[in-house]
Structures are given as C-alpha cells and as structure tokens.
Amino acid sequence: MTSRPAALSQTFPWIKTPLIVSAPMRLVSGHQLAVEVSKAGGIGFYGPGYDVDPVPGALRAAREAFALSDPAEVLPIGVGFLLWKAPLEPVLDVLRTYRPAAVWLFAPKDESQMQEWVYAIKSNAPGVSIWAQVGSLAEAQSIVQLDVDVLVLQGGDAGGHGISGRRGSVMQLVPEVVDMLGQRDGRGNKPLTVLAAGGIIDGRGAAAALGLGAQGVVLGTRLIASTESEAHARFRGAVVGARDGGSGTVRTRLYDELRGTGDWPEQYDGRAIVNDTFQDDVGGLSKLRNKELYDKAREAEDWNRLTMFAGTGVGLVKEVLPAGEIVEEVRREAVEVIERLGKVYA
C-alpha cells in the first residue's frame, strides 16, 4: 500500500516533508501568501471565506506568479471556503476554470450541507483534492463517510473560528482520530491524510504533532506575522508583541457580534486576542455601548478594540518574516527536534 507521505507527493508533487500548510484565513491569507508557502515546499491556501467575487482575479494572479500558461495545468495552491455563507455554484465555476490543487471546506450549517458540497465538487471538479476541517472525533467520524482526501484536525488552541463548547487540543484530537482511521483503514477503506492545526507555531509544535500521528501541520497564527499577510500592520504588531497566549486569548462570539459577522451558525465561535472590547464586556459594559465604541475604533483603526483572531501559540511569535522563510524554518526545526530526540532516546 502507498504510504500517506508518498500519496501526498503524488497529488502535490512540489511539496517537501515534513509538510507545512498555511491556513485559509479570511482577510489574512491572500493569494500572495499562498503562493510563497507553496514555492517553499508547503501547500498554501488562499482564504476568501465566503466572498467569491475576488477569487477569479486572485487565482489569475497566482497562475501568473507560477508562470502557468496552459489552462489545463494545476495551480499549486488551494482555496478555502466557509460553507455556511459561500455560494456553491460560483465556487464550482472557479474550481473548474482555475484548477487549484485543493479546496478546503469548513463551517457548514449542518452535515447535509457538507455532503452537498463534497458530492458537487467530486462531480464537477474531480481533479481537486477535497480537504475538510473538523474539530472533534464525532465530526471526523461523520466526515470520513464522505470520502474526502484530507482531514484537518483543528484543536481548541486554534485561533479564529472553530466549533464551540468542550473540545480538546491536538494532543487529544489527533491520536484519537488517527486510531479511529487505523481501524477504518484496516477494513479496506481509502487511507486519509491527517493534518494537525491549532497552537502550532514552530518546529517543536510541528514535531509533536507528527509524533501524534499527523502527516503534516497547519500554520495560521504564525503566518499572520508574515510579510505577505494581508492583516493590518497593527494586527501583525499585536501578534508579535503578545505573550502568554493561553490567558491572552479567548474563545467568544463577542467580536463577531460587534463587528457585524454575528450570523455565523451558533455552533461556532472564535479565539481572539483579549483587548479592551472583551475586558469591557467582562466588566459589565452593555453590548450597545460596546458596539458604539467598536464602531468608533473601526473608524480610528484602534486595534485596542478591534478583532484580532489568533491562537494560544501567539506568544511564541517573535518577528515578522517572509512566509517562505517561516515555512522553511518550521520544517528545519521539526527535523532537528526529531533527530535530536532520536539520538537522546535511541
């Protein structure tokens, strides 16, 4: 049987291992970030979220960056969509026309919507690798029935949106899902690739995730502080300046409610850097007054109040670097950690 790393290399022939993937963060992960991650041997994802209008232009620019003149050539980046609000038919048109290597599906309104999207993509864009983001063992057990290609296992440490409620980190989620898949694979099912996401900032975290059974890791928060990030400079500065991400970030729906994205389905919330907006809410400030202050902060670009989604690993981010350098550094560090442990415990 073909190993999972070998199978990945067949689908994504430009990658280097250990595999580093960039998360499709809305308002952060533009096509330039995705391109640089893939050029560095990772798999970069462009994150339009639910707005399909800018996607054709972004993917045309990405194809130009790779000097792809043949429309039949696969574009070596992926695109991520938020299912609950994204329109399916325009997405299918984009996948057929611009041929991204992968599509990342997240945040369906319910299981039936995920099923609808997976089946539609398989029928209309059969060459695209289908990735599904999940946040629990139960979600993973449901999604594998749809025959997707990659499972992105998002632990509770992740920044940005994920399923709300009680949930573990990748330390629990990855091995539980890997064990479940091992039993499933033993019954002759197609092996699935597993990637770990949430709290991974450097090679130490990547090596740990690989030890848990993941075939690669996803970077989100670390790449907010990249040269190619579309995050506001003050947002990037806050990420670099943050410390103690365990207590300095919080999972909440507050920021969505105040910034006008409160229509996220109720089963999702987001982890963000704690700032005056959250502190005032805890202190008893009314939602109405907090919204007034938030709107004023938006006009003034006051990031002491604005939304900054980031994970618990944010305290490990020390500087802004080009995305390609970040990918290479994390990959190199992961190998060094694995080799060092091999010598210590041989």
Question: Per-residue pLDDT for the chain (346 aa), expressed as one digit of tens each?
Answer: 345 666 788 899 999 999 999 999 999 999 999 999 999 999 999 999 999 999 999 999 999 999 999 999 999 999 999 999 999 999 999 999 999 999 999 999 999 999 999 999 999 999 999 999 999 999 999 999 999 999 999 999 999 999 998 889 999 999 999 999 998 866 667 889 999 999 999 999 999 999 999 999 999 999 999 999 999 999 999 999 999 999 999 999 999 999 999 999 999 999 999 999 999 999 999 999 999 999 999 999 999 999 999 999 999 999 999 999 999 999 999 999 999 999 999 8
3-state helix, strand, coil in the chain (%, to 5): 45, 20, 35
Q: How are beta strands 19-22 and 249-252 bridged, if at all?
A: unpaired
Name the residue type at position 88. L
Using CA atoms, how far apart are residues 179 and 198, in angstroms rounded to an integer? 19
The 3 state secondary structure assigned to 136-158 is CHHHHHHHHHHCCCEEEEECCCC
What is the value of pTM for the model shown?
0.96
Quick one: tokens of 95? 């996948």
Using CA atoms, how far apart are residues 12 and 315, in angstroms rounded to an integer? 32
Using CA atoms, how far apart are residues 53 and 46, in angstroms rounded to an integer? 13
pLDDT reported for residue 1: 38
Using CA atoms, how far apart are residues 40 and 273, in angstroms rounded to an integer? 29
pLDDT reported for residue 4: 62
Give 240-245's long-range contacts (Cβ < 8 A, gap of 24+): 240/317, 240/318, 240/319, 240/320, 242/273, 242/310, 242/314, 242/315, 242/317, 243/315, 244/315, 245/310, 245/311, 245/312, 245/313, 245/314, 245/315, 245/316
Using CA atoms, how far apart are residues 185 and 67, in angstroms rounded to an integer? 39
DSSP 316: G
Q: Which of 65, 137, 62 is nearest to 102 (CA)?
A: 62
Q: How many CA atoms lie within 13 A of 227 on its CB side?
A: 10
Q: How far is CA 85 from the centre of its chain?
A: 17
**Do 116 and 88 contact (CB within 8 A), yes or no?**
yes
Using CA atoms, how far apart are residues 287 and 294, in angstroms rounded to an integer? 10
Question: Left, alpha or beta for 107 (phi > 0: left; psi -120 to 50: alpha)?
Answer: left
**Do 219 and 228 contact (CB within 8 A), yes or no?**
no
Using CA atoms, how far apart are residues 28 and 269, in angstroms rounded to an integer? 18
Tokens 């099912």 locate to: 189
SS3 label, residue 76: strand
Pick among 3.20.20.70, 3.30.465.10, 3.30.460.20, 2.40.30.10: CATH of 4-232+319-344 = 3.20.20.70
Residue range(s) of every CATH 3.20.20.70 domain in the chain: 4-232+319-344
SS3 label, residue 275: coil
Using CA atoms, how far apart are residues 202 and 315, in angstroms rounded to an integer? 11
Using CA atoms, how far apart are residues 278 and 283, in angstroms rounded to an integer? 9
Using CA atoms, how far apart are residues 175 and 80, in angstroms rounded to an integer? 25
Using CA atoms, how far apart are residues 178 and 190, in angstroms rounded to an integer? 14
